[in-house]
Structure 1
Amino acid sequence: MSRKNDKLFLLIKSLSKSEKIHFKLYAKRIKTNKKAKFTNLFEKMNKMNSYNDKKILNNTSISKKQLSNIKAHLFKQILISLNLQNIEKNNDVKILNYINFAKILYNKGLYIQSLKFLKKSKILARNEYMNIILLEVIEFEKMIESQHITRSIHSKSGDLSLESKELIEQLKCQNSFSNLSLELYGLYLKVGYVRNEKDKIFIESYFRTNLPKFNIKYLNFYEKLYLYQARVWYHHIQQDFIMCYQFSKKWVKLFQINKNKKKVLPISYLKGYHHLLNTLFYLNKYYQFIKILAEFEEEVKKNDFILNVNTEVLIFLYKYTNIINKHYMEGTFSEGINNVIPSLLKEFNRLYNLLDIHYIMIIYYKIACLYFGSGDNKNAILYLVKIMSNKQTNIQKDLQCSARLLYLMACYDSGLDDNMDGKIQSAYKFFIKMDDWYIVQKKIIFFFKKLGNLYPNQITIQFKKLRDKLLKYSFHPYEKRTFLYLDIISWLTSKIENKPIEQIIKEKFLLRDSHIR
C-alpha cells in the first residue's frame, strides 16, 4: 500500500461531514465563489480515493500552471473555515482570537477596549493553566500600561510586573518537567529499554540532574502532568513496571479530577490510559487489565473529549493493540483472528495515510503475533516481512529485533526452512548492526544455527536445554526485555510437549486464573 503524501488531499480526507458542509457554506458565501476554481477543485478531490494530478487536470478547467496556486489557496481557505468553526469549541482558539482583537483595537488607538479583550483572554488562560499565553497577554498589558495613558489603577503596573515574575518562575518549572518527559521519550524511541548497568546509571543520573526541585502540593495541573509523564518514561525505560503502573495511574487520575482538561488535552488523556494498560499487560495483571480496558472503552463511548483525526487515530491504535493483548494473555489467538482482524484491517486501511510509520509497524507486529499464536505461520511471516523490509531508521530497535526472531520461529514452524542458514545469518548481521547483541538473542540465534545439524531424536532435548537456559534470564533486569515482545518460553514448551502454542498459553492462563480465584 502506497502512502499518499499530498498535503491538501490528506487535509480534505481528514475533514468530518460537518466540517465539509461548513466549508462549502463558507466558500460559497460570496456568489462568485460558487463557480470558482478552488471550490471545483475541492469537490473533485473530495470524491477521489487517491490523489492524481492528471485526473484533476482532465476533469476541471484548471491548467497545469494554475494548479499549484489554486491548491495553496484552497488549503488556506479550508484552514480559515476550520478556525471559524472551532472558535467556540476550543478555549485556546477563543483566547488567541481575543488577543488578535486586542491587537487590532490597539493599532486603532483604542487602548481601553484593547485591555478589555486582554482581560477576557487572561481569565480564560488562567482558568485553563495556559501560562505561556497568559504571559504573552501580561506582556501586552505591560506594554500598553507603560506607553499610553489608560486611566487604570495606579498600582496596576506593579501588579503586572509581579504577575510576570511569578509566571516566569512557574514556566521554568513546567518547562523543565516537559523537557525531561520529551527527552526520556526520545531516548526510549532511539534505544529502547536499558541494556546494562552502564545504561541504568546514565538514565538515573540524567533523570536526577534534570528533575527540578518541587513540592507536589504547589504544582499546577500541567506541572503534575509533565512530572507523571517523565516518571512513566523513566521507569518504563528501566523496565520497572510496578513504579510505571503507579505513575500512569496518577496520570489518568489527574484527568479524572480535572475533567475539563479531557477536552483541552485529549491526546495526553488517551496516552495515559494506554500506558496504564500496557503496564498491566507487562505485569500480567489480567483482571486489572480487563477492568481498565472496559473503563477506557466506556470513556471513548461517553465522548467526554474532543474527537478529531488525532484522537481517532490514537483510539484506533490503543483499542486494537490492547484488545489483541487481551487475547495474548488468554491464549485465545484463533478467536482474536476471527473477531478482531477483519474490523482492525478495515479501520487500518481507512486511517493508513494518517498513521505514523512507527504505529504501522506496531500494528503489523501485533497482527503477526496473533497469527503466529493461532498457528497461521504464513500470515505471520507476511506481516513480519513488512517490518523487516522497512528501511526507516526511526523504528524502535526492540521491535525490529523481536520481529526477526519471531520470523525465524515462524519459518521453522511453517516448514519454510529452505535457505534457513541465510535467514539466520541475516538476523545475526542485523543484531550486530543495531548493537543489540545480548545473551538471550545470542542463545536463540545459535540454537537455530545448530538445529540443521541435529538428528530428529536430538531436537526435543535441545529445545529443553534452550528453555532451561532462557528461563534463568526471564527475570533478569536487562535480558527480560526480549520476553516482553516474544513469548519464547511458551513456544519452546509447545515444541517439547508437541502441542500448539495456543494450547500452551491457554493452559498457563487457566492455571494462573484458578490460583487467583
Structure 2
Amino acid sequence: MTNGQKDALFTLIKSLSKSEKRQFKLYVNRLGMNADAKFLALFNLLEKLKQYDEKQILDSGIVKKQQLSNLKAHLYKQVLISLRLNPVHQNIRSQLREQLDFASILYHKGLYKQSLKMLDRAKTAALEHEEKNIAYEIVELEKVIESQYITRSMSNRAEELVEQAKTLSRQNVLTSRLSNVSLQLYGLMLKTGYVKNDEELRVVKQFFSDKLPNYDSSLLGFREKLWLFKAHLWYSFLTQDFLSSYRYAKKWVDLFDESPKMIKLNPVFYLKGHHYLLESLFFIKNQSQFKEVLEKLERLRDNQRFLVDDNIESLLFLYTYSNKLNYHFLSGTFGEGVPIVDEILSGLKKYRSRIDEHHIMVFYYKIACLYFGAGDGRTCIKYLQKIISNRSLKMREDLMCFARVLNLVAHYDAGIDYNLEMQIRITYKFLLKMDNLQKVQKEMIRFLRSFGDFYPQDLKNEFKKLHAKLKEYENHPYEKRAFLYLDIISWLESKIQNKSVGDIIREKALALNK
C-alpha cells in the first residue's frame, strides 16, 4: 500500500476545493468524453477515499494493476490542465506564457505579421510587469521571425532587437546572481543559524563580498532591487546586525507598496517581506511599530490586490501566528498568549502538507517558550521534547541546541530535578558534538550542575552572581544570540526579585517604549 501522503495524485486531488472539483468534472464533460471514462471514475473514487489505498482501487474494477500507473499519470495531467483554465490560477505571468505559445503557433502557421503583433503586445506587458525572463524569450522569437519576414527597415529593426536582447540578458543575469546569493545565505541561516565566532563571521563576510555582483543602482528594476534587498537582509541576519536587517526588510516592503501592481503578481514575496520586517522589529524590541506591522499583516486578506490561494492561506497562518507569539514575548504577556496555542495546533494539522519540518519545530520552540514564560514548565518540556526527539539533520542546529538548554532550565524551574545531572551530561555532550557550546551555555550548565551544592539561603546570591556574569554577554557580538532564543537574564531577574518572567519583561517593555 502506498502512503497517501506520498502519492502525488491523491495529494493533488485532496488539495482541490469544492469549486475546483466541480470545474474538473465540467471540464471533462466539455471534452465530450463518456461520463464513465476510466480516469474520471478513478477521480471520483480517490475523491471519496480518506487515505490512499491501492488495493481498494484495484478491487473497484476500474483499472488493472498494470494499467494503474498510466491511468494515474493521465488523470494527474488532466487535473492540472483543469486548474490552469481556472480563473483563480490565472495571472499576468500565465497570460504572457499563453500569448507566447499562441504567437509561436501563428509563426509555425506562417502568419508572421499576426505573430509579431501579438509578441509586441506581450513584450510591452512583460516589461511593464517586470517579467524580464519572458520578455527575453519574446525578443528571441521576434529575432527568428524577423530573419524570415521583413516588416520594416531590417537594419534598424535588427539593431533594436539586438539591443533589447543584450539589455534583458544583462538584467536577467544580474537578477540570477543576486537571487543565488540570497538563496545561499538563507540556506546557511537555516543550517547553522547566526555566526558564532570571528572565523564564521570572516567566512560569511568573504562569501558575501565575493558573490555580490557589481551593479549600477540607478539601473536596477523592481526584480533586481528585490533580490538585492533579500541578499542584504540574510547577510544582516547571519551577522546579527538587526538594525540593518530592519532597514532592508523595510525597503523590501516599501518596494511593493510603491508598486502596488506587483503585489498581485508576487503576493508571496510581499507577505514574506512583512514577516521579516516583523522579525527584525522583534530583535530590536520595537514593540509599537511591531504591533502596527502585525495589524497590517492581518489586514492583508482584505487587500483586493492580495489574492489568497492555497499557498498564501498556509503562509498567512504561518507568519501571522509566529508573529503573534513574538508579540507576546516582546510584551511579556505569556499567559494571554496561551489560548492561541490550540489555534496554532489546529492550523499545523490543517496545513501539515504545506509547512516544512523546520517551521513546525520553530513553532514548537516558540510554544515551549510561551509556556515557560507563563510558568508552566511541564508543558514547556512536552513541546521541547518534540524538538529534541527529532532526528532530522536538515533542521537548524542552533534551534536544537537551545531547545536542550531551555529543557534543562525548565526541568529545574518545574522542580523536576531527579535526573537533572544525567540530562546535563547528555546536553553538554550534544553541544560539544555540534561545536555549539557558547559561554552563556557553559555558565548555565555550570550553575545547574552545582545547584545541589547551594544552601537554600544562598540561592538568591548565586542567582545574582550568574546574572552579573551573563549581563557581560548581553551585547557581545556572538554571545548575545543566546538571549534571542531564551531571555535567561529576565528569568534570573524574576528569581532575584520574586516576580514572574512575564512581569519582568513587561516592565522592561514599558520602560523601552515610553
Cα pair 1:86 1:93 within 8 Å, conserved: no
Aligned twin of 1:136: 137
What amino acid is aligned across from residue 507 of structure 2 in structure 1?
Answer: E
What amino acid is aligned across from residue 99 of structure 2 in structure 1?
Answer: Y
In structure 2, C-alpha distance between the alignment counterparts of 1:247 and 1:406, rounded to whole Å:
31
In structure 2, C-alpha distance between the alignment counterparts of 1:334 and 1:48, rounded to whole Å:
41
What amino acid is aligned across from residue 323 of structure 2 in structure 1?
Answer: N
What amino acid is aligned across from residue 437 of structure 2 in structure 1?
Answer: W
In structure 2, C-alpha distance between the alignment counterparts of 1:417 and 1:38, rounded to whole Å:
61
- Bigger drift between 16-25 and 319-328 goes to 16-25
Q: Percent identity?
A: 44
Alpha carbons of 1:511 and 1:128: their partners in 2 closer, same or farther (altered >3 Å)?
closer
- Bigger drift between 384-393 and 3-12 goes to 3-12
In structure 1, C-alpha distance between the alignment counterparts of 2:171 and 2:49, rounded to whole Å:
49
What amino acid is aligned across from residue 109 of structure 2 in structure 1?
Answer: K
What amino acid is aligned across from residue 506 of structure 1 in structure 2?
Answer: R
In structure 2, C-alpha distance between the alignment counterparts of 1:207 and 1:267, rounded to whole Å:
25
Aligned twin of 2:188: 187
Report how many residues are paired.
Answer: 511
| Matching of residues 287-306 of structure 1 within 5 Å | 287-306=288-307
What amino acid is aligned across from residue 29 of structure 2 in structure 1?
Answer: K
In structure 2, C-alpha distance between the alignment counterparts of 1:494 and 1:196, rounded to whole Å:
30
Aligned twin of 1:506: 506
Cα pair 1:377 1:411 within 8 Å, conserved: yes
Aligned twin of 2:418: 418
Aligned twin of 2:378: 378
How big is the shift at 1:511? 4.3
How big is the shift at 1:99? 1.5
- Bigger drift between 319-328 and 427-436 goes to 427-436
What amino acid is aligned across from residue 123 of structure 1 in structure 2?
Answer: T
How big is the shift at 1:287? 0.5
In structure 1, C-alpha distance between the alignment counterparts of 2:88 and 2:507, rounded to whole Å:
55
Aligned twin of 1:8: 9
Structure 1 position 117 matched with structure 2 position 118:
yes
Cα pair 1:44 1:56 within 8 Å, conserved: yes
Structure 1 position 404 matched with structure 2 position 404:
yes
What amino acid is aligned across from residue 270 of structure 1 in structure 2?
Answer: L
How big is the shift at 1:221? 0.4
Cα pair 2:192 2:397 within 8 Å, conserved: yes
Question: What SS class does the counterpart of residue 480 from structure 1 fall into?
Answer: helix
| Matching of residues 31-70 of structure 1 within 5 Å | 31-58=32-59, 61-70=62-71
Alpha carbons of 1:65 and 1:452: their partners in 2 closer, same or farther (altered >3 Å)?
farther
Aligned twin of 1:464: 464
Aligned twin of 2:25: 24
Alpha carbons of 1:87 and 1:377: their partners in 2 closer, same or farther (altered >3 Å)?
closer
Structure 1 position 324 matched with structure 2 position 300:
no
Cα pair 1:313 1:354 within 8 Å, conserved: yes
Alpha carbons of 1:50 and 1:506: their partners in 2 closer, same or farther (altered >3 Å)?
farther
Aligned twin of 1:224: 225
In structure 1, C-alpha distance between the alignment counterparts of 2:283 and 2:273, rounded to whole Å:
16
Alpha carbons of 1:303 and 1:452: their partners in 2 closer, same or farther (altered >3 Å)?
farther
How big is the shift at 1:108? 2.6
How big is the shift at 1:255? 0.2
Task: Write out per-residue CA displacement over residues 140-159 of structure 1, whole angstroms, 9 at most, x where no aligned residue.
Answer: 1112222x234444221221
Cα pair 2:368 2:380 within 8 Å, conserved: yes
How big is the shift at 1:285? 0.7
Structure 1 position 101 matched with structure 2 position 84:
no
Alpha carbons of 1:134 and 1:401: their partners in 2 closer, same or farther (altered >3 Å)?
same
Alpha carbons of 1:484 and 1:124: their partners in 2 closer, same or farther (altered >3 Å)?
same
Structure 1 position 436 matched with structure 2 position 436:
yes
- Bigger drift between 467-476 and 205-214 goes to 205-214
Q: What is the TM-score with the length of structure 2 in the denominator?
A: 0.94
In structure 2, C-alpha distance between the alignment counterparts of 1:6 and 1:262, rounded to whole Å:
33
How big is the shift at 1:303? 4.4
How big is the shift at 1:271? 0.9
Q: What is the TM-score with the length of structure 1 in the denominator?
A: 0.93
Any stretches of 5+ residues in structure 2 without a counterpart? none
Aligned twin of 2:264: 263
Cα pair 2:473 2:480 within 8 Å, conserved: yes
What amino acid is aligned across from residue 128 of structure 2 in structure 1?
Answer: N
How big is the shift at 1:55? 4.1
Question: What SS class does the counterpart of residue 51 from structure 2 fall into?
Answer: coil
In structure 2, C-alpha distance between the alignment counterparts of 1:27 and 1:289, rounded to whole Å:
49
Cα pair 1:372 1:410 within 8 Å, conserved: yes
